[in-house]
Chains A and B, each alone.
Chain A
């Protein structure tokens, strides 16, 4: 778990062994069962989670329908991120889709790191840039791509998730009607032998 976190962070900033030890002292290992809530709506998010194993969704309920805003798997970061930043009650809940192990950092520990040295401020800025890019990409895709293009793009980038995530949640995440999603999935399996 620790080496996967280090690999993840090394994309952004090269940490010395000492810096990495300091980081580890601020992190907490945690485990969640399938369907366990990490954060509920109305709570102020106190953690960001780096996922070692498992799968976690961020979602909300619209009438009784689950609307998925984000899905994170191994090597990803998740939490009710908007609430973590704004310190306002979360509109989203965060829930494990599979048994999950993660490392989490609390808001106050992260603030302590930020005041420790500029390395951490830089890491924070660069990781935040990543969130911003991801959010902008989703807005662009939902506005400018057709349903079919969104489906194909997602399946190319996340071929494993089609087996791991219930279809109605994937359809919700891609903002595609379930019937359309089934139809597209069918087309894709027919085409696969030619690829």
Chain B
């Protein structure tokens, strides 16, 4: 349970701005909503969900990076890269209460606002805007997934690479290259070859 008196004004403003994107809420409503949530902090490179566990949390990242991947043999297949202001969890496991097929792991020290499944049920029953907020957050998650799927189906590797680095320039520094390559479904060699395009596109 987050007592909002104990978090910094900046963090509170950040959290409020996040929820305002979906549904305008008063500071009191945000405080009410936060009373159902936990503030969780992890060191970098911490596995926060193992394959086979039932994911108990829906997380909104305040600072840091979390990746979602499946292990095929020894290879990590990156399904999602999430940073400040993104929502991440093992959706299928969380929503259907079944063992997760995917892992969640931090790449940086990470702080997130997390809603436990049982608390979510409580919030949905008791918090007046809960149902609407829950739906709108899910619509946002759906749209992000559709964006990624559309990029995979419609764009060449080169276009995927360029679009991604232009839209997320900071991620090149923050995420190991092999993970970015896997996320974009490009081999590591091709990814290295494409790197000269970054300088060219910034020179323009």
- Whether a CB of chain B sits under 8 angstroms from the CB of A99 is no
Q: How many residues of A contact B (CB 8 A)?
A: 30
B34 at interface, CB cutoff 8 A:
no
Given contacts A138-B149, A144-B70, contact A125 B143 (CB under 8 A): no
What's the minimum C-beta distance from B130 to chain A, rounded to whole angstroms? Answer: 9
What residue in chain A is nearest B129 (Cβ atoms)? Answer: A121
Give min CB distance, A85 to chain B, whole Å: 4
Interchain CA distance A67-B138 in the complex, whole Å: 25
Residues of B with C-beta under 8 A to A114: 132
Tell me the residues in window 86-136 of chain B with beta carbons closer than 8 Å to chain A beta carbons: 91-92, 95-96, 101-102, 124, 131-132, 134-135
What is the minimal beta-carbon distance from A14 to any residue of chain B, in angstroms?
Answer: 16
From DSSP, what is the main secondary structure of chain B's interface residues? helix
Contact between chains at A132 and B77 (CB < 8 Å): no
How many residues in B have their beta carbons less than 8 Å from beta carbons of A? 29
Q: Is A46 at the interface (CB under 8 A from chain B)?
A: no
Chain B residues in 8 Å Cβ range of A135: 142, 145-146, 149
Contact among B95, B101, B148, B185 for A132, CB-based, below 8 A:
B95
Cβ contact within 8 Å between A132 and B131 = no
A60 / chain B contacts, CB cutoff of 8 Å = 150, 153-154
**Chain B CB within 8 A of A155 CB:** no
Q: When A91-B150, A140-B70, A143-B77 are in contact, do A129 and B95 touch as well, CB less than 8 Å?
A: yes
Could you tell me the distance between the alpha carbons of A138 and B79 in the complex, rounded to whole angstroms?
11
- B25: min CB distance to chain A, Å: 15
Does chain B have a CB within 8 A of A142?
A: yes
Tell me if A62 counts as interface (CB < 8 A to partner B): yes
Asked if B141 is at the interface of the complex by the 8 Å CB criterion, the answer is: yes
User: How many Cβ-Cβ contacts under 8 Å join chain A to chain B?
Assistant: 83
Query: In the bound complex, do residue A125 and residue B131 qualify as a contact, i.e. CB atoms below 8 Å apart?
Result: yes
Q: A133-B92, A136-B92 are in contact. Are A85 and B153 (CB under 8 A)?
A: no
A124 within 8 A of B: yes
Q: Which parts of A61-118 form the interface with B (CB within 8 Å)?
A: 62, 67, 69, 81-82, 85-86, 91, 114, 118
Name B154's closest neighbour in chain A (CB-CB). A62
Residue numbers in B under 8 Å from A128 (CB-CB): 135, 138-139, 142
Contact with B along A127-167 (1 / 0, CB 8 A): 01101110111111011100000000000000000000000
Of residues 67 through 90 on chain B, the ones whose CB sits less than 8 Å from some CB of chain A are 70, 72, 77, 79
Instruction: Give 1 or 0 for each of A11-46: 1 = CB within 8 Å of chain B CB.
Output: 000000000000000000000000000000000000
**A contact set with B: CB distance below 8 Å:** 60, 62, 67, 69, 81-82, 85-86, 91, 114, 118, 121-122, 124-125, 128-129, 131-133, 135-140, 142-144, 175
- 8 tightest A-B CB contacts, nearest first: A121-B131, A125-B135, A135-B145, A128-B138, A85-B139, A82-B146, A144-B70, A125-B134
- Which residues on B are within 8 Å of A, measured CB to CB? 70, 72, 77, 79, 91-92, 95-96, 101-102, 124, 131-132, 134-135, 138-139, 141-143, 145-146, 148-150, 152-154, 185
